[in-house]
Amino acid sequence: MDRHAARVLDFTRFLDLLASEAKTPQGGALLLALAPAPSPEAARERLDETDSLIKLVDTLGWPPVDGLGLVEGHLSRAEVPGACLEVEAMVELKEAIGVCTRAVEYVEDAKSEGSPIGAWGEGLTPLYDLQSQFARTFGPRGEILDSASPELYRIRGELKELRAKVLRILQRILRDTEYEHVVQDDFITQRSNRYVVPLRTDFRGYMGGIVHDRSNTGQTLFVEPMEVVETNNKVNEAKEEEFAEIRRILAALTARIGASAPAMLSQIVLVARVDALCAKVRVGQRLGSVRPVIAKE
């Protein structure tokens, strides 16, 4: 098709319409890059694909392709030796691998139904092990779970005990009648990553401890009593261990993602292809379209 014919037929505008129906950016890009079939045989093959999907939708429903983002850049970075992806990138990849797994399973079901679309999944295997590792590592909001590693589980258990110990000591101090006239408010807070109690400024020397901050009004000092200094130190040491272990977990998972990147990229191509075909069918149905007869001549 030359430029004049494409303009007269509003071909580019129609591609925009198709792309707007895509559920994934990759599928939309495929549709925007569409060119007319190079031969009658190729045109019939494309029409056969849409007919096959229409039949599959009647038996299997629409392919589950929603939720795939542009994660190719994350996969490329994961292939770099020694790389460590950030949590945000990991969460996007977690969603992407779920979409890819569901798409491969759908195509496998299509093969069982005898559909030609089943051939699209040849050589593709869901990355179930990697998906399971994502599930053990991240919670629904992207938080790193205790189950990410036995060492992280141990460190967080120790942190919980140390924090509880600090809070018990500080609560005892707040309840002590010896200090009721010097404590500004009956609460425990944190300053400079240390647990502290609020002390009235005019009784600064009454309680031994380290001053970490003062209120905007100047009426309150935030003091770390000497009784909890050592335990607070241990809390911060355990938090440093936790941070180091989380980085180790993310680095190890990044290396595993990098090793699986080629397989995942192939599955993303499948998702895009299926998504683009779905968009064609949806537009065709909305417009009340029918299959044309492609003349041999």
pLDDT over 70 percentage in the chain = 92
**Which residue, 86, 246, 84, is CA-closest to 152?**
246
Q: Is the pLDDT of residue 246 over 80?
A: yes
Read off the pLDDT of residues 15-58 as tens digits, 9 standing for 90 and up.
999 999 999 999 999 999 999 888 999 999 999 999 999 999 99
Report the C-alpha gap between 126 and 96 in whole angstroms: 12
State the pLDDT at residue 78. Answer: 97
In angstroms, the CA 186 to CA 82 distance is 48
Question: Over the stretch 82-141, which tens digit does the pLDDT of each residue have?
Answer: 999 999 999 999 999 999 999 999 999 999 999 999 999 999 999 999 999 999 999 988
Query: DSSP assignment, residue 293?
Result: P
Cβ burial of 211 (10 Å; 0-12, 13-18, 19+) is middle
- From residue 150, alpha-carbon distances to 61, 130, 182, 251 in Å are 41, 18, 44, 16
pLDDT for the residue 206: 59
**pLDDT computed for residue 203 by the predictor:** 58
- Residue 291 is classified by DSSP as P
> Which segment of 10-14, 91-95, 183-187, 238-242 scores lowest on mean pLDDT?
183-187
pLDDT at position 296 is 78
Tokens linked to 120? 């699209």
Q: What is the pLDDT of residue 179?
A: 59
Least confident of 192-196, 209-213, 263-267, 280-284: 209-213
Q: How many helices (H) and strands (E) does the chain have?
A: 9, 4
The distance of Cα 253 from the centroid of its chain, to the nearest Å, equals 13
Cα-only R_g, the chain = 30
Residue 159: CB atoms within 10 A of its CB come to 17
Q: How far is CA 295 from the centre of its chain?
A: 49
Side by side, which strands form the sheet with 220-225?
A: 189-191, 194-200, 220-225, 209-214
Beta bridge partners of 214: 221
Model confidence over 247-260: pLDDT tens digits?
999 999 999 999 99
164-214 per-position pLDDT tens digit: 998 888 888 777 656 565 665 666 778 878 888 777 776 556 567 777 777
Spell out a b/e string for 122-155, using b for 16 or more CB atoms within 10 Å of the CB, else e. Answer: eebebbeebeebbeebbeeeeebeeebbeebeeb
Tell me phi and psi for residue 210, to 5 degrees.
-110, 125
Q: What is the mean pLDDT of residues 152-164?
A: 95
Which residues have a Cβ under 8 Å from the Cβ of 15 and sit 6 or more positions away?
A: 31, 32, 34
